[in-house]
Structure 1
Amino acid sequence: MLVQQQPPLHLTYCLNIHPGESWAENFRGIHQHALEVKNRVCPDRPFGLGLRLGRAAADALAAPARRHHLRDFLRDHGLYVFTINGFPYGQFHGGPVKERVYSPDWRTPERLHYTNLLADILADLLPEGMPGSISTVPGSWKPWIRHESDLKSMTASLTACAQYLAGIRTREGADIALALEPEPGCFLDVPSEAVRFFREHLFPGGAEVQRHVGICMDACHVAVQFEQPAAVLAQLLAAGIRVPKVQLSSALEADGSASALKDFSEPVYLHQVRARAANGAMTSWTDLPLALASGKLEKAGMVRVHFHMPLYMSDVGEGLRTTSSAMDDAFFRRLKSGECPHLEIETYTFDVLPDKPPNVVDHIVRELEWVLQRV
């Protein structure tokens, strides 16, 4: 929904909270849940959607007839699409995902072709004159990048995608930005790595890359790294990197309370862990089960876990809390400046929360209201 007229600022929630891989399942999530959210949050105004389309759903929407049907549905129900989560290519619910969420990565033609298809779909759905965004894998999972050829392949694919997006803008007038989403343990991990990669590898590709490739800043990922969201936004924008999309979510935080964290150790998603000692020394684990098995959490200092927590929750109990307070007044002032036009709430972990709220729509509405109170 449009939460600020000038400069324009759009807010939504990511539909990846609703399980489903096929387009039929995705559409059911819109019909059964997103419509109810709209009717409760902004019944008299258009409500924007943050689609999550894996490869199977994107292939289905490649058919013009299905897109035509979707456009009619959006128009008839006061909905519009302005952003797509193009990060997970394959299965994202109902079974182990872990590191597979990064595959295929930006070294591969599969990732490029899939993302170009998402751009075609978005260009067909975007309201006239409204910019679009697609969030994506931050290059790759860091352990997979071993050779200079890997770096060159990623750069070439991202440059090719920028050129494809420039072609869409020329032919159809749709201005779409690809937004790499840094994440702990990935090729683009901390903000300084993103700045270096853009300056040394992407920006030499020319104006089309600078216009069409940027960063999706995820507030949960930033918090896990013990960074401040407002400072990260300032760092990226000062480096000339676009931030077309910001994902709003909190991380899980504890003071070495390993016993309480056990409830959040689950087999579906990757929950990277970072710990900061009193002297500033950092310790990292690839996943929460590994951190728990190490026996070192109790003395590691402050611990943060990549587990997307509800925005409205601050105290989790049993010595656990969230990082929601890191999204402070300075952060929201920056968002209202219009430099980051798309805001998307992302709490895809709803189904694996130890004590999840009983109703997903109630949960989504509470998260949207939390943001609306601040913007």
Structure 2
Amino acid sequence: MQTPHGHLTYCSNIHPGEKWHDHFSALRTSVPLIRQQLSPDAPFGLGVRIAGLASKDLHRDGGLSAFRDWLSENNTYVFTLNGFPYGGFHNTRVKQDVHAPDWIQPERRDYTIRLFRVLSQLLPDGLDGGVSTSPLSYRHWWQTETSRKEAVAVATHHILEVVVELLDIRRKTGQVLHLDIEPEPDGILENSIEFVDWFKDELLFRGVPYLIQKKGLSETEAEEALRTHVQVCYDVCHFAVEFEDPDVVLDRLEATGIGVGKIQISSALKVDFGNDVPEKVELLRRFDEPVYLHQVVAQSDATQLKFPDLDAALWNSTPSGEWRIHYHVPLFVDQYGLLKSTRDEIVRVLNRQKTQPFTRHLEVETYTWGVLPPESQLPIEESIVREMTWVKEQLL
């Protein structure tokens, strides 16, 4: 929905369905109920997660046309897609496979192009559109610095091929579409420093001559195209887990001329181990579950230790200092007994957006409802409405 500070939505990765028929069925059930409570008299924005199988289904048998008609009938519009998880995301073990296929594989390039072609046909006039995606690959799949550099080069080339597609779409339709790369703990691009370095040293370095040769652009036009069509997805949870200060990150991006395609509004778990250590460890064990990755960054006296998942941190360390855990917990709660969340980081980011707007897209992304401890679970439509209402109040 449109707010004074951008278009606000939630991400449909909260709903099941890897095949389009199944996901569309979930949307038809939930979205009208949510829209009626949040935006009964105005258009309702929707951020859609389209899995790899669904992206192929949509191009068959009039699926995209039927979805477009349904959006119109329900006064709903789409301006952003989540293209990070390609495969199964519910009722299956996801963990590091959330990155597969990564940007080294042509399947990721082809999938992303399919998503942009879908988005182009759904996007309302006058809006830019974005597809968020993985931070190139999973860091621990590359054991040496040499292999990682080679992977980055291949991934960057595939991204440049997507940029060519976006330039073609812009020439045909006038639409401005952008690939929003999402840094994440243990991604090849983990934080804002790594993202900026990659953008300057890889994307621009390789991309400017590539677009000059491929599209006949001038050097200035090629750089402008890359800055327009490749941006960052600012997932608040991810940057908070990395202990990155929001203002420092946003100042760094602004200073280097890198756009923010969207904010993913999400909250991480936070634990201060200054006291009650055994009790806090026991509470944390209730969040250790087998579906999603829950990377941990532990900071003590400016020293950081990183763990690939919560179980590794719990069994292979003596808890001390402050831990931040990649676990998208509900936004409307900031205290879980002796555990806390990083919700204050969201407030800071949204306050910056209100005073110094840096994006047009805001997307709530809490997807862990099915694996939360039972006392934190609510009916899905009620949970989404509570989250969206909390964000709307922060934007007043």
Same structural fold, with TM-score higher than 0.5 when normalized by the shorter chain? yes
1:289 pairs with one of 311, 314, 320: 311
- Residue pair 1:163, 1:209 contacting (<8 A) in 2 also: no
Does residue 239 of the first structure (1) align with residue 240 of the second (2)?
Answer: no
- Residue type matched to 1:109 in 2? P
Aligned residue in 2 for 1:323: 342
Deviations 1:265-300 (A, max 9, x none): 0000000001111x1111110000111111422xx2
Deviations 1:293-335 (A, max 9, x none): 11422xx211110000111111111x10111012235642335
Mapped pair 1:49 → 2:46: yes
Q: 1:31 and 2:28 equivalent?
A: yes
Equivalent in the alignment of 1:359: 379
Aligned counterparts of 2:181 and 2:164: Cα–Cα separation in 1: 16
- In structure 2, the residue matched to 1:178 is 179
What is aligned with 2:302?
Answer: 280
* 8 A Cα contact 2:246 2:348, kept in partner: no
1:333 aligns with 2:352: yes
Q: 1:60 corresponds to which residue?
A: 57
Distance (whole Å) between structure 1 residues aligned to residue 25 and residue 61 of structure 2: 19
- Which sections of structure 1, spanning at least 5 residues, go unmatched? none
Q: Distance in 1 between matches of 2:120 and 2:349?
A: 33
Structure 1 CA distance for aligned equivalents of residues 60 and 354 of structure 2: 36
Q: Deviations over 1:166-205 (max 9, x none)?
A: 1111112221100110000110001100010001011231
Q: How does 1:216-255 map to 2 (within 5 A)?
A: 216-255=233-272
Q: How does 1:28-177 map to 2 (within 5 A)?
A: 28-63=25-60, 65-145=62-142, 146=144, 147=147, 148-177=149-178
**SS of residue matched to 2:46:** strand
Q: Tell me the secondary structure at the aligned position of residue 140 of structure 1.
A: coil
Q: How far apart, CA to CA, are the structure 1 residues paired with 2:156 and 2:58? A: 28
* % identical aligned pairs: 39
- Matched to 2:232, the amino acid is I
Is the Cα contact below 8 Å between 1:98 and 1:270 reproduced in 2? yes
Give yes or no for the alignment of 1:374 onto 2:394: yes
2:52 and 2:348 mapped to 1: Cα distance?
Answer: 38
Aligned residues: 368
Question: What letter matches 2:31 in structure 1?
Answer: A
SS of equivalent to 2:305: strand
Secondary structure of 2:362's match?
strand
Preserved CA contact (<8 Å) 1:229 1:331: no
Residue equivalent to 2:284: 261
| Alignment partners' CA distance in 2, 1:361 and 1:246 | 22
Correspondences of 1:180-199 after superposition (within 5 Å): 180-199=181-200
Aligned to 2:325: 305
Separation in structure 2 between the aligned mates of residue 93 and residue 330 of structure 1, nearest angstrom: 29
Per-residue displacement from partner, 1:35-60 (whole Å, max 9, x unpaired)?
A: 11110001000001100001111101
Q: CA deviation at 1:64?
A: 6.7
The RMSD of aligned alpha carbons is: 1.4
How far is the alpha carbon of 1:20 from its aligned partner? Answer: 1.5
1:270 to 2:270 alignment: no
SS for the counterpart of 1:37 is helix
Question: For the structure 1 residues 293 and 235, does the alpha-carbon distance in structure 2 shift closer, same or farther, using more than 3 Å as the test?
Answer: same
- CA drift of 1:129 comes to 1.8
Give structure 1 regions of 4+ aligned residues with deviation exceeding 3 angstroms.
335-338
Q: Which amino acid in the other structure matches residue 264 of structure 1?
A: F
Which digits, 9 at most, give the CA deviation of each residue in 1:9-62, with x for residues without a partner? 100000001121111121122111111111000100000110000111110112
Match of 1:314 among 325, 331, 334: 334
Distance in 1 between residues matched to 2:67 and 2:16, nearest whole Å: 19
Distance 2:27 2:119 in 1: 16
TM-aligned CA distance change 1:68 to 1:330, over 3 Å:
closer
Evaluate the alpha carbon distance shift between residue 330 and residue 49 of structure 1 in structure 2; reply closer, same or farther with a 3 A threshold.
closer
Distance, in Å, in 1 between the alignment partners of 2:356 and 2:169 is: 27
Residue 210 (1) aligns with residue 211 (2): no
Q: Distance in 2 between matches of 1:303 and 1:126?
A: 40
For normalisation by structure 2, the TM-score amounts to: 0.90
Partners of 1:23 and 1:301 lie apart in 2 by 45
Corresponding residue for residue 215 of structure 2: none
Q: Report the alpha carbon displacement of residue 105 of structure 1 after superposing the two structures with TM.
A: 0.7
Q: Specify the code of the residue in structure 1 equivalent to 2:116.
A: A
CA distance in 2, matches of 1:170, 1:261: 51
Q: Which residue of 2 aligns with 1:19?
A: 16
Query: Secondary structure at the residue paired with 1:275?
Result: strand
